[in-house]
Amino acid sequence: MRRDVSINFGRGRTIELQVQVDQSPQSASRAREWLDATYEKMGCEPIRPSGKVLLIDKILAIAIAAGYEGLNSNRNLLESLASQSAAALDRSRIAIDTDSLTVGF
């Protein structure tokens, strides 16, 4: 199924793309595993003062760590972040906003 993903970095820097996502339960599980592994690999830190790390926090932290330029120059990472986020959250539209630290549906 096709999903729309938008990643906003502020100052007019937004990346929008459509990705194809498998809707199987295994797909959601694999997506969460990818987000966990990528969060660790990129050395991401908890966003919340409590130190608790939610799925949405991992998505935000990966986008922040990669940055606008990093995602634009690494299409594989961009498409993986978009498709894995859409699969893990099981939403047709996702808006990741690194400026306001939110993920909307």
**Chain segment 46-85, per-residue pLDDT in tens:** 988 888 899 999 999 999 999 999 999 999 999 999 999 9
Helix (H), strand (E) at residue 20: strand 14-20
**Chain segment 4-29, per-residue pLDDT in tens:** 999 999 999 999 999 999 888 899 99
| Domain boundaries defined on the chain | 2-93
Of 1-5, 28-32, 48-52, 89-93, least confident by mean pLDDT is: 48-52
Give CA–CA dist 78/7, Å, rounded: 10
Helices (H), 16-102: 25-41, 55-73, 75-89
pTM over 0.85: yes
CB neighbours of 27 closer than 8 A, spacing ≥ 6?
21, 87
